[in-house]
Structure 1
Amino acid sequence: MQSEKVIKHIVNWLKNYAVNAKMDGFVVGISGGIDSAVTSALCAKTGMRTLCIEMPIHQAESQVTRGREHIKLLKEHYANVSDTEVNLTSVFEQFKTEVPQTSDDSFLDLSLANTRARLRMTTLYYFAGLHRYLVAGTGNKVEDFGVGFYTKYGDGGVDLSPIADLMKSDVYKIGEALGIVDSIMKAAPTDGLFGDSRSDEDQLGASYDELEWAMKMKENGKKSDDFLGRKKTVFDIYNKLNKANQHKMKPIPVCEIPKNLH
């Protein structure tokens, strides 16, 4: 991949979109991970105002530290970058006291994890509305269009997606070209939504490299029976997640009323 040319293309795309939409800049949620680091750096390179927001909810200290390290470096290089922190822990805890309690924990953890993501989306749009900014998404191609590894109307609720046509491995290449801090480049990817140390690979059952391979194999028309061992396992994991999460990737279904009923 021609990293420098890809960077220039994305930066121009971001700026042109914002100018045509008559918006004044971008807001990006900073998680301490590679995707948000690359996205915020690309937004910063447009020269338009870029607001980086940290939104911890019982966040691991290592994630917070990486995010702050990244923002500090961005601000040193780009005068158009600003930042703020909105600690949503108390909001999240209050939410839990207001909703009905359940004795069935089978879906509780996931539901609360998605709630965290949706509280953050609400916060991003609050600041976007205040400043006439666009909410820049941080999802990559394998997450957004492969396995659907994001929260509907959470981190999936954005105005534009600058890195959604890049595989995770491509994002790392862009990150290297952009000079993203080592602590982020070397950190195990995690969504940080469960308040523990589980990584994305722990949740997905396969690494991003493996899932990228499976995505390419499926695009090439391969079937599960074409593989053995670990490759078959990974291919099946990819297919299962891809099928289960189609509701995230397809447009919202609309009940169309037949003309004869109007």
Structure 2
Amino acid sequence: MLNLNTKTELDYPHVKQYLVNWLTDYALKSRQAGYVIGVSGGIDSAVCSSLCAHTGLPLIVLIMPIHQESEQLQRSLEHVAWLCDKFSNVTAITIDLTSLYEQQVALLEKSGALNNITPEEQFLVTANIRSRLRMVTLYGVAGANKSLVCGTGNKIEDYGVGFFTKFGDGGVDVSPIGDLVKSEVYALGRELGVNEAILQARPTDGLWSDGRTDEDQIGASYDELEWALDYCERHQIKSNEEVKSIGLLDKDLSAREQVVLNIYWSRHIANQHKMNLPPVAYLK
């Protein structure tokens, strides 16, 4: 049985104020006016946009639907309406990127670039195009308003399993919740007053037309991934060989725990190219 209660509870009012101060200080030191952020109807973007709003600096919140499910879009609209009602420094903009996305996919199909891959691989390619179109849009708005793009990735996604699009939602200027795991993001969301519909929604990146959730894609829940991250950190696991030997060395691990460890570690290694800066071919 997975032990999911190994961590000490954080002081969330303190965490909230610390992150608001951190965002404020970074923007001022960067000589930027404020922040731009995209919201998806999920907990991560709701928390990060709320933190940015609390800075009092100008915040532009973008809703960028691309064949978006109605429930996701409705949660986004309700959250943005709440922010605009609560904070005078928030401006909301909706830019429907569906037609631009369709044009990009059509160009790839016409070129033959998608001919030699499976339908599932095509789904992945086009899903990542959605994320990258949003990144381009965010930076267009940020550049026009002398602002920074606020990231919405948490510790599990950005530094655990690399569950983000390279140069898509991973292309940001700041990462305020990058040191928080998913359960902590939810707790901070409650502290910030994020609405219940977002708190209860199943996590999804919103990039797939078949409605699959994050758990569907990864094969493990966020609670399980938090356990795996904590396990690897506590046991200082640094190689595939160490993960493979865990089943022999730790007799207390269940079969499911071994599966989760393998899911976590295989993604952690495979996605290092997303988590690290591009390597430089230094001349000797």
User: Which TM class, normalised by the smaller chain length?
Assistant: over 0.9
1:249 to 272, 275, 282: 275
2:277 and 2:105 mapped to 1: Cα distance?
30
What secondary structure sits across from 2:204 in the alignment?
coil
Dislocated runs of 4+, deviation >6 Å: none
Q: What is the aligned partner in structure 1 of residue 128 from structure 2? A: 114
Instruction: State the 1:229 CA deviation.
Output: 1.4
Q: What is the aligned partner in structure 2 of residue 192 from structure 1? A: 206
Aligned residue pair count: 258
Q: What is the aligned partner in structure 1 of residue 159 from structure 2? A: 145
CA shift digits 1:42-85 (9 cap, x unpaired):
00000001111011110000000000000111111100011011
1:115 and 1:73 mapped to 2: Cα distance?
29
For structure 2, the 5+ residue unaligned runs are 1-9, 238-242
TM-score by length of 1: 0.96
CA shift digits 1:162-184 (9 cap, x unpaired):
11011110000000000101110
Q: What is the aligned partner in structure 1 of residue 89 from structure 2? A: 80
2:103 and 2:156 mapped to 1: Cα distance?
34
For structure 1, the 5+ residue unaligned runs are none
After superposing the two structures, state which structure 1 stretch, 218-227 or 68-77, moved more: 218-227
RMSD across aligned positions (CA):
1.0
Instruction: State the 1:251 CA deviation.
Output: 1.7
What secondary structure sits across from 1:26 in the alignment?
strand
CA shift digits 1:195-219 (9 cap, x unpaired):
2210000000000010000000011
CA shift digits 1:215-240 (9 cap, x unpaired):
00011116431222111111111011
Conservation of the 8 A alpha-carbon contact between 1:41 and 1:74: yes
Alignment of 1:60-209 (within 5 A): 60-99=69-108, 100-101=111-112, 102-103=114-115, 104-105=117-118, 106-209=120-223
Q: What is the aligned partner in structure 1 of residue 66 from structure 2? A: 57
Report the AA paired with residue 263 of structure 2: I
2:133 and 2:88 mapped to 1: Cα distance?
29
TM-score by length of 2: 0.89
1:43 to 52, 56, 73: 52
Conservation of the 8 A alpha-carbon contact between 1:38 and 1:175: yes
Identity %: 48
CA shift digits 1:227-258 (9 cap, x unpaired):
22111111111011111101111221000011
1:250 and 1:93 mapped to 2: Cα distance?
31
